Amino acid sequence: MPEFIPLISQQEIQEKIREIGQKITRDYKDLDLVVVGVLKGSFIFLADLVRHITIDHEIDLVGASSYEGTSSTGQIQITKPPDFDLEGRDVLLVEDIVDTGRTLVMLVKFMQGLNPRSIKICSLIDKNERREAKINVDYSCFSLDRGFIVGYGLDYNEKYRNLPEIFNLKLQS
């Protein structure tokens, strides 16, 4: 049975998302914003975030996968391309967690091929423990040094996304 150690409360999450949404609203005023959530992990964060972005914007989704269990496989796949034409538009990639950075580096390269005017990254969690690729996270709610976290969209083998707070997951051996 896994152990769930509380890390970030639901209230703390909502306060940070409101702050980030307000900053994005200011930064993208008068721009052609498309908020692109990275499936599956970002869907809860994305839903809350876009409610705090008070300028006109569109929402799209892209799928990318590199994890199995608690480890990155090292193989990154685009599982769902964006639906919108992004050429000349301002893209904000929304991710649940930036960990190794490899997935986002690959996603940014993929998105650059769609010729947007700009690409920035917004992440619920910026985690540095296993960072392997240099990637700039423009907007981050929380920065963590270590741990395997679940809840609020973050999963372990597709489980625990539904938890309303963020927990450090300790697996029993």
99 is catalytic: yes
Residues 6+ apart with CB under 8 A from 170: 2, 3, 4, 5
Q: Which residue out of 48, 96, 99, 155 is catalytically annotated?
A: 99
Give me the active site residues, please: 99
